[in-house]
Amino acid sequence: MKGGRRALVLACDVTRDGELERAAAQTRDAFGRIDVVVANAGFGVVGPVEDLSLDDYRRQLETNVFGVLRTIYATLDDLKRTRGHLAIIGSVSGHLATPGGSPYAMSKFAIRALAEALRHELRADGVSVTLLSPGFVESEIRLVDNQGRLKTADRDRVPAWLRMPADTAARKIVSAIARRRREAVITGHGKVLVFIARHLPGLMSALLSLSRYRGRAEPGRS
């Protein structure tokens, strides 16, 4: 790689038991140790509750919550040995639930709770935990439908000016991990929304009501 570093690329399904353990073993074999773990796999199920099924919610939680837990269980002993760092990718939606986004928000609220609990549990082992909460970042997540299928013919309906470039977000994430920060909200608009949700919840409710926000449409649907 550029800069003289080595990388190992492995395909892994976080919804399948045993796959994270296999990936962690291959990483150990290649590099000898694991110092930093980033639990990042996720997608978004969207739509009003009356249009969704229990299976939609299960599918969402299986990836976004249990996928994170599988990652942790597969690497926790490594992090304890190296007194390493666990980074969990949450979302602004883990602080603010909007109409039409209850499955995704539920998953990210759960991840936020997990990060807060583990931060205290793992402190004695020297393992630090960072919750990272991006807002809108350039990625394919908004082109993935409720079944987890990428819709390449669709377009990202979030305005380009509001989407942070992926490399910029990555640099901010690496900086937060290196500094072992407790939490970092990555995007500027995300910081504003999280502040309002935490300190002025009535204002946030009023803004949502005034805007008549109904959430984003599932990719592949008009």
Residue 57 designated active-site: no
- Write down the catalytic residue from 57, 73, 104, 213: 104
Q: Which residues are paired to 184 by β-bridges? A: 132
β-sheet with 36-39: strand ranges across: 36-39, 85-89, 128-133, 183-185
Q: Which residues are paired to 185 by β-bridges? A: 133
- Using alpha carbons, list the distances in angstroms from residue 200 to 98, 100, 184, 190, 220: 15, 22, 20, 15, 35
Positions of E strands within the chain: 36-39, 85-89, 128-133, 183-185
CB 138 within 8 A of CB 165: yes
Alpha-carbon distance of 79 to 33, in angstroms, equals 9
Pair of tokens at residue 104? 């995704």
Pair of tokens at residue 199? 């300190």
Please list the active-site residues. Answer: 104
